[in-house]
Structure 1
């Protein structure tokens, strides 16, 4: 049975697929611009996402390193979007020509809802290459769950090394391989190396010299967003900290934790982090939307979907022409996603009111990256900054951009406390299997009690 959003019968229904950057910021913009219509029930907005929160991804490396509480890098959608309907579900089928979508909720049967306007903002997922052993042994850093797991896993590897005298096992546990030299990969290896080095201060058998961190990048440089000079400086800084930076190198195999690289090196590693690019969410292919050879929804400079009416798209799952560079598309980053969502929201309002749409035009203002506590690199408005000033710029920028005043205060509190208190380096690996001890106790109770031996007569 079809299910429609609540509101005045016949009111335009806007369906937003995805609650990430584009989805949440577009809904916030619509809430602001259409507050009177929403209050009177003259417009309906529904957001569909497998999660009921938006993740501020630039903070995931810091959350994994323990600088920020994981709860503070997510924004509850229902709290910031009280005028919208938030559905925690997946879109399994979509027919824009007829204006309906099939949703699969957490439990129960699929539901069909109708809509008038579509915003495809499903975002991106990790691009996993067909490398032997990668799917079984690798982990990405795209979600808050992965950040928590990666932190616990790395600290658990230190515990393994601290509790054994087996040199081969110790060497494997203390070897950490990060693949991908973009923002996600560089910030992840830098923050987690910083955390791991701190953790060794409280150990007797593991020293910073025992740690082996490696960054593997297929291109001839890292951090291309900050320019070749700053990318080279970053590589030198990482190497100075003992991180082995390998460029023009590919991961060829990771079967059973044995890493094999294209330069001929092979070794055992207890940790493999994969941050080598993203691809559009497979949700975009669950319907009749036009996609290009890379699986991106074909968009226009007005953030509409090519060839369709009342259909919009933006962000990582969309191919949006970059009007500042002929023949190029906007790169899939947060800077573009946030700015696109503002124009997208305004264009939906203009469409509702019968006005002409405005194109999305934005020139890149630069990039900033954190490289651990008090270390960073930045290139903005033509200026190159590194070290402590760049780290301060990184925190200032993202502290200002993280959504909601509530989250800004919580993140600022985490950072302030970190100035006076030591970093927590405790592994909570058991939270990932919370029923393990319970099941073990139940299994022990299920075994019949041993009968005492009968005493023999003297």
Structure 2
């Protein structure tokens, strides 16, 4: 059988494999997906995971449960050699193996972009994976417990100070949801007041949410500030050493929770460890039909899609434009990619990827949102309902849709579940807290 290897099990990789399973005939090809995680993260739900509005597991789609006809290899791809038709995979235990392929699909996705800012790697946390979203939620809840037991002063202020760096969709949604959670939690903490909270959103540009136009973006800033947040535009993070935030504006404050959402960078595997053609940003050069290469020099049997690919945007009026790295494109590129690979295997005609944006929608906290499609702008509760409606339809598989809806309905009746499980990050602490074992004999009774 022909070997099809898909590097990465994110949106584009998952939907490519899912589409191939449905379209390939028995014995026509074997599909292998390589990814260090056993699930696909539905990233639009991560802000709601931080706020406890979506259960963490419901934002993760199991690869084994839904890709039953696909071979799954748990590991990280450390190199791609198309000249040898092989990818190098390192497993969690450090063992290294090679996978040979006849057809390669590169959907590694992007990674969080960081800068050499003092204290950043020691203090900050990202918002790209489920584990990070859960940690952010638990850290905020733990901080509330600690602050409630602390006297008013600098330590309490630091515990209840939250800083988000990056004003794109991920940062603004996460910031708005966490602000909504913190405000709601005050009802359960009579020792604390609204004045104890300090939320800061730092953005290097002069506006947030570049995906929407200027007026809706300015409305979001005003909405956040009305809710007690500080939005620092045209401002950069200078230092975060020991949790002491220093901004380029000269302002300084202590912050116990720092979340970094300042954009994406190309995957190091694609950028540095492959012989495939990449552009100046480190993205795989892709033709409109999602085949790697250019019109004059295509790379046979190699395809790419998602955040690690420079896919031409045929729906844009801007010459040379590429599709923006978001879920809307990655999902549809994966579906088109599966169809094109099957067509290519059977000697059929492949088609170019073209998709016009359906608009953008963002949650800003419980009951708050914004939607824009061209000149149409919807704000507040209607936009928030549209956000929930769109994403419950977009999350793959009916099993996940039903689970998410069940959590939302439960929360509507009983409110948020305000329980911190930060201790799961150190599961053996309680076991070790028992001290040294007894010297006398006897086992467990």
Q: TM-score, normalised by structure 1?
A: 0.92
| CA spacing shift, 1:203–1:305, aligned 2, 3 Å | same
Q: CA deviation at 1:447?
A: 9.7
Across the aligned residues of Structure 1 and Structure 2, the Cα RMSD in angstroms comes to 1.5
Find the counterpart in structure 1 of residue 322 from structure 2. 329
The correspondence for 2:51, drawn from 54, 58, 65, is: 65
Provide the rounded CA distance (Å) in 1 between the counterparts of 2:240 and 2:94: 39
Provide the rounded CA distance (Å) in 2 between the counterparts of 1:385 and 1:447: 69
Provide the rounded CA distance (Å) in 1 between the counterparts of 2:154 and 2:123: 19
Q: CA deviation at 1:342?
A: 1.5
SS in 2 for 1:309: strand
Provide the rounded CA distance (Å) in 1 between the counterparts of 2:23 and 2:83: 27
Find the counterpart in structure 2 of residue 151 from structure 1. 137
SS in 2 for 1:206: coil
The correspondence for 2:257, drawn from 267, 271, 277, is: 271
1:314 corresponds to 2:301: no
Q: Deviations over 1:145-172 (max 9, x none)?
A: 0011110101111112111116111111
Find the counterpart in structure 2 of residue 291 from structure 1. 278
| TM alignment of 1:13-412, pairs within 5 A | 13-34=3-24, 37=25, 39=26, 41-107=27-93, 109-165=95-151, 167-284=153-270, 285-306=272-293, 307-323=298-314, 324=316, 325-412=318-405
SS in 1 for 2:13: helix
Find the counterpart in structure 2 of residue 435 from structure 1. 428
SS in 2 for 1:122: coil
Q: Which 5+ residue runs of structure 1 have no aligned equivalent?
A: 1-10, 449-458
| CA spacing shift, 1:166–1:85, aligned 2, 3 Å | same
Q: CA deviation at 1:345?
A: 1.1
SS in 1 for 2:434: helix
* Residues 47 and 84 in structure 1, CA contact (< 8 A), matched pair in contact too: yes
Provide the rounded CA distance (Å) in 2 between the counterparts of 1:43 and 1:382: 46
The correspondence for 2:2, drawn from 12, 22, 26, is: 12
Q: CA deviation at 1:441?
A: 1.9
Q: CA deviation at 1:290?
A: 1.6
Q: CA deviation at 1:42?
A: 2.3
Provide the rounded CA distance (Å) in 2 between the counterparts of 1:221 and 1:446: 63
Find the counterpart in structure 2 of residue 452 from structure 1. none
Which has the larger displacement, 347-356 or 408-417? 347-356
Superposed structure 1 runs of 4+ greater than 3 Å apart: 444-448
SS in 1 for 2:390: helix
Corresponding residue pairs, total:
433
* Residues 365 and 381 in structure 1, CA contact (< 8 A), matched pair in contact too: no
* Residues 226 and 368 in structure 1, CA contact (< 8 A), matched pair in contact too: no
* Residues 296 and 317 in structure 1, CA contact (< 8 A), matched pair in contact too: yes
* Residues 20 and 121 in structure 1, CA contact (< 8 A), matched pair in contact too: yes
SS in 2 for 1:441: coil
Q: Deviations over 1:372-398 (max 9, x none)?
A: 111100002531100111001100100
* Residues 298 and 318 in structure 1, CA contact (< 8 A), matched pair in contact too: yes
Q: TM-score, normalised by structure 2?
A: 0.95
Find the counterpart in structure 2 of residue 456 from structure 1. none
Provide the rounded CA distance (Å) in 2 between the counterparts of 1:179 and 1:107: 34
Provide the rounded CA distance (Å) in 1 between the counterparts of 2:439 and 2:135: 33
Find the counterpart in structure 2 of residue 7 from structure 1. none
* Residues 340 and 360 in structure 1, CA contact (< 8 A), matched pair in contact too: yes
Q: CA deviation at 1:98?
A: 1.7
